[in-house]
A and B are shown apart, each in its own frame.
Chain A
Amino acid sequence: MKSDRGDIELAGVCKSFDGATYVVDGVNLKIADGAYCCFIGPSGCGKTTILRMIAGHEDPTAGEIVIGGQNVVGLAPVQRRTAMMFQSYALFPHLTVRENIAFALRVRGMSKADRLRAADAMIEKVRLTQFADRLPAQLSGGQQQRVALARAAITEPRVLLLDEPLSALDEQLRVQMRQELRRMQQELGITFIHVTHTQLEAIALADLVVVMEQGKIKQAGAARDVYAHPHDRYVAEFMGGQNVLSGRVEKVNGASFTLAQAAPDGIEVPLQAHSTVSVGDKVDIAVRRDDVALVRPGKDLPPGCTTSLPSRVRAIEYQGYFVKVMLDTVPDDEFVAYVPEKTFFADPFTVGDVVMATWATGSALPLA
């Protein structure tokens, strides 16, 4: 019995090309049917290899890939009912838009009239009707992407796999096509798995963000979870928007502990629900850049702030709706405050100013 469900389960999936090093190293993951899932990580982290294993272009060295309750390892892409949209699209250069889209039907032996009718319907869906007789080389990047999407979608897959689908486009088009991808996903109602190295793309699109490093999943969860509550230093730094500080635990007092730092009274950090720390432990904490407030020395700290770190302004970048202020708070790491534009220009700093960096105690997040 074939299932129409596009839920995916990866169980202990490993991949090694040379038998010695693992590109994908024991990945376990469940992706719900109809989810939009983004794999994100630096190049070489194994995200594309996972995608290719789900697609059936690569066999796992170990582990199971289950789609709709069925282990698909060893099956051809068509049998898996997956379809892939390749990076830079891989449109057939000698075939027109219509012939490209009808290709899957052609190899299935569908009659010419039938497959062209089906292709035309799909062409309309992606709004390419006036380009149906063009060759890929005569299309813009955005149009090519829509052809690629249509060519993959016409196979009626239960999972669509997208390998860096937006990387070939320029900035403006990227935002536009991002919305289009989301719209298509909702319209088709199938699982999308999207590989990217752009954080913004991942958190804007995904129901499930999977952060990877060196063949392992570092964190998987909803976009907001991953961005606002990173598990560890790696995820915090990779997703961005966080300052990461490290230090030794000086004392533990009930619901919080104090981290020794170059601050008069150390840094107070609330203790998470089921975690324990003891004095002397080395601990990383994260503070969102937009949670950091800057106060001139001698002025009162905003309410709820118990920690303040004396810093000097190293550089200032105007970003439009906020101002990025770079500080020398931590000796070797960057420490940045995103100050709302209006707040900043009410009392602007200049490079070299001494400020107190502070934040509401509750917003400091201990990392694993």
Chain B
Amino acid sequence: MQPSSSPAQTPPRANLAGWLYVLPLVLVLVPFFVAPILVVLAASFFATDGFGGLTPGFTLASYVEVLHSALTLKLYLATIKFTVLTWIFTLIIGFFVAYFLVFHVRNQLLAIGLFLLCTVPFWTSNIIRMISWIPLLGKEGLINQALLAMGVIRQPLEVLLFSDLAVVIAYVHQLTIFMIVPIFNSMARIDKKLIEAAIDAGASRFDIMRLIVVPMSKSGIALGTIFVVSIVMGDFFVVKVMSGGGSASVVSAFYEDVGVLQYPTAAASAVLLTLVLVAIVSLILRTVDIRQEITR
């Protein structure tokens, strides 16, 4: 074990070396993450002529407008609805898929192979994966055709595509992977002997799940939750395409605002959203030391 010293006592030379190594990273993040956020923050206080022209200044008018609009509440409710539904489904599916791979597949090579099988789509286009539901869920899609053929329904179901259901399906389809990977990682670190010991001590399968597997996968669940929540809350194109324009979320409204050059209101709503997101993420981070989790 390397004796670890706290940063405060690190000699200046080590501090300098550390900064030199992360300098390129910082040189990207400052202009392309910090600065844009500050620009959006600044824009939210500017006045506008309504045609895309911004007048530097300080006015809370945009915030007042955003907060007073009944639409805002509706947008946030819709966003939260999508987030919660997606989170629940991705968590359940992700947890049990990871659980199956770690604890039920005996051959480790096979488990890794199946794990990779789950991760491959992550490296392909999200948009393509989203539109790939059209031939399935559409009015004349496979599912309606099948249901009609079986005589379960008389009329094709309209709710399958271009609906909230389709939005949630597309989200779950895209984001379950973000649950599987971190949960799989934390589960794979559970010593199998621990479970054998628990069985020897007379624990039932449910006890093992409740007392060992779930607590020890907590950090993976937290990490997955951060990914899923932040992606759903920051998304707009799934909502836009899969709801067929019927639903909107905070960011899709932002997208529309930007489209009609309403920069300050868009910026104000973006700032509010970011605050909400930061609050949620830091709440989750309080339960798990993400840095230690990732770096160990």
Q: Report chain A residues within 8 Å CB of B24.
A: none
Q: Please, how many angstroms separate the alpha-carbon atoms of A23 and B2 in the complex?
A: 13
How many of chain B's residues have a CB under 8 angstroms from any CB in A?
4
Q: CA A73 – CA B3 in complex, angstroms?
A: 20
In chain B, what residue has the closest Cβ to A15?
A: B3
Rounded to whole angstroms, the CA-CA distance of A17 and B9 in the bound complex is 9
Chain A residue total in the interface (Cβ 8 A): 4
Bound CA span A18–B5, Å: 7
A19 to B3, CA, bound (A): 13
Rounded to whole angstroms, the CA-CA distance of A17 and B5 in the bound complex is 7
Complex CA–CA separation, A17 to B6 (angstroms): 10
Bound state CA distance, A286 and B3, in angstroms?
Answer: 37
What does the 1/0 interface line of A17-41 toward B look like (CB < 8 Å)? Answer: 1110001000000000000000000
Q: How far does the alpha carbon of A23 sit from the alpha carbon of B5 in the complex, in Å? A: 14
Report the bound CA distance from A18 to B7 in whole Å.
Answer: 11
- Please provide the chain A residues from 1 to 56 with a CB less than 8 Å away from any CB of chain B in the complex: 17-19, 23
Q: How far is the CB of A330 from chain B (nearest CB, A)?
A: 38
Contacts of B3 in A (CB 8 A): 17, 23
Measured CA separation A19–B9 after assembly (Å): 8
Provide the bound-state CA to CA distance between A23 and B3, in Å.
Answer: 11
- A-contacting residues, B1-52, CB 8 Å: 3, 5-6, 9
The chain A residue sitting closest to B6, CB to CB, is A18
Q: Which residues of B contact A19 (CB under 8 A)?
A: 9
A-chain residues with CB within 8 Å of residue B5 when the two chains form the complex: 17-18
CB neighbours of B9 from chain A (8 A): 18-19
Distance to closest chain A CB from B13 (angstroms)? 11
Report the minimum CB–CB distance from A232 to chain B (whole Å).
Answer: 28
Cβ of A17 to closest chain B Cβ, rounded Å: 4
Which residue on B lies nearest to A58, using beta carbons?
B3
Residues of B within 8 A of A18 (CB): 5-6, 9
| Complex CA–CA separation, A94 to B93 (angstroms) | 39
Q: A23's closest neighbor in chain B, by CB?
A: B3
Contacts of A17 in B (CB 8 A): 3, 5
- A228 CA to B286 CA, complexed, in Å: 58
Would you give the shortest CB distance from A169 to chain B, in whole angstroms? 21
- Complex CA–CA separation, A210 to B19 (angstroms): 41
Once bound together, how far apart are the Cα atoms of A18 and B8, in whole Å? Answer: 10
CB-CB under 8 A from A23, the residues of chain B are 3
Smallest distance from the beta carbon of A51 to chain B beta carbons, Å?
Answer: 14
Type the 1/0 row for A238-275, where 1 means its CB is closer than 8 Å to any CB of B. Answer: 00000000000000000000000000000000000000
Q: How far is the CA of A87 from the CA of B6 in the complex (A)?
A: 26
A23–B6 CA distance with the chains assembled, in angstroms: 17
The chain A residue with its CB closest to the CB of B3 is A17
| Closest Cβ–Cβ distance, residue A15 to chain B (whole Å) | 10
Q: Which residue of chain B has the shortest Cβ distance to A20 in the bound complex?
A: B9
Per-position 1/0 for A163-198, Cβ under 8 A of B: 000000000000000000000000000000000000
Cα(A174)–Cα(B9), bound, Å: 40
Question: What is the distance, in angstroms, from B1's C-beta to the closest C-beta of chain A?
Answer: 10
A17–B11 CA distance with the chains assembled, in angstroms? 11
List, in ascending order, chain A residues with CB within 8 A of B6's CB.
18
Interface flags, B66-80, vs A, CB<8A=1, else 0: 000000000000000
A14 CB to nearest chain B CB (Å)? 15
* A108 smallest CB distance to B (angstroms): 25
Within the complex, the shortest CB–CB distance from A52 to chain B, in Å, comes to 10
Once the chains are docked, how many angstroms separate the CA of A17 from the CA of B3?
7
Separation of A119 and B208 alpha carbons in the complex (Å):
54
The distance in angstroms between the C-alpha atoms of A18 and B3, with both chains bound, is 9
Q: With CB as the reference atom, state the residue of chain B lying closest to A19.
A: B9
Question: What's the minimum C-beta distance from B144 to chain A, rounded to whole angstroms?
Answer: 56
- C-alpha spacing A23/B1, complex, angstroms: 14
Shortest Cβ distance from B212 into chain A, in angstroms? 30
Shortest Cβ gap from B269 to chain A (Å): 48
CB distance from B91 to the nearest CB of A (A): 38
Complex interface residues of chain A between 173 and 229 (CB less than 8 A to chain B): none
B:53-87 near A, CB below 8 Å: none
Q: How far is the CA of A191 from the CA of B3 in the complex (A)?
A: 28
Assembled-state Cα–Cα distance A19/B8 (Å): 12
CB of A163, distance to nearest CB on chain B (Å): 13
Q: Complex formed: what's the CA distance from A205 to B3 in Å?
A: 29
CA distance A58 to B3 in the complex (A): 11
Taken together as a complex, chains A and B put the C-alpha atoms of A218 and B3 apart, in Å, by 24
- A19 vs B6: C-alpha distance in the bound complex, in angstroms? 11
Which 6 A-B residue pairings sit nearest by Cβ, starting from the closest?
A17-B3, A17-B5, A18-B9, A18-B5, A19-B9, A23-B3
Residues of chain B having any CB pair with chain A under 8 Å: 3, 5-6, 9
7 pairs of residues in contact across A and B, judged by CB atoms under 8 Å? A17-B3, A17-B5, A18-B5, A18-B6, A18-B9, A19-B9, A23-B3
